[in-house]
Amino acid sequence: MIDKRIMGSTACLWKFVGIVAVAMMMAACNVKSEHQGLDQNKQEARAMGNPVFHFEIAVNDMDRAKAFYEGVFGYRLTPRAVDGYDMAFFPRADGAAGASGALAKGDAYKPSKDGAIIYFDVPDIDVVLRNAKQRGSKILYEKKDIGGAGFVAEFEDSEGNRVALSQVRS
């Protein structure tokens, strides 16, 4: 006759094995659903393009900030009042990839190094950093090689905002 203690231990072992098997199946299902979610995100991104369309950089002194950005990047910004706020728009190429934006001055805009960081795509990060330093900028994050993606750096603009740069490796 089999001892009841052994039967009890065997039953516990089989319960444990069953629980582990169920947990493994659930984990496999979750991994599959996570991958399905990632695939769905990729499909949505392809269908809609880049989701960021417009950004606004807070400034206190529009003339100073406009001169700073034009000098650092070589862009010509277009001043315009929008909904009662002074703005200066960066160039925008309709139909091209990426976002465009504006410098913005008003009670709703507070320059800061905290919060979202906007990366400007530049052909030569060293030239842009040199231009920023010549205009009194502090380098907040020195040029860094990030492997196959290229280089990044950050500086403080004339208004106290954190501005980031990205240069694709050629």
Quote the CA–CA distance of 99 and 76 in Å, as a whole number.
Answer: 16
**Residue-level pLDDT at 32:** 45
The CATH code of the domain at 54-167 is: 3.10.180.10
pLDDT digits (tens, 9 = 90+) for 23-72: 333 444 444 444 455 566 656 655 667 788 899 999 999 999 999 999 99
Claim: this prediction has a pTM higher than 0.85:
no
- What is the separation of C-alpha 149 from the centre of its chain, rounded to a whole number of angstroms? 14
What residues are paired with 86 via a beta bridge?
81, 105
Supply angle C-alpha 69, 75, 77, rounded to 5.
Answer: 75
Domain map of the chain by residue range? Answer: 1-49, 54-167
Residue 20 has pLDDT above 60, yes or no: no
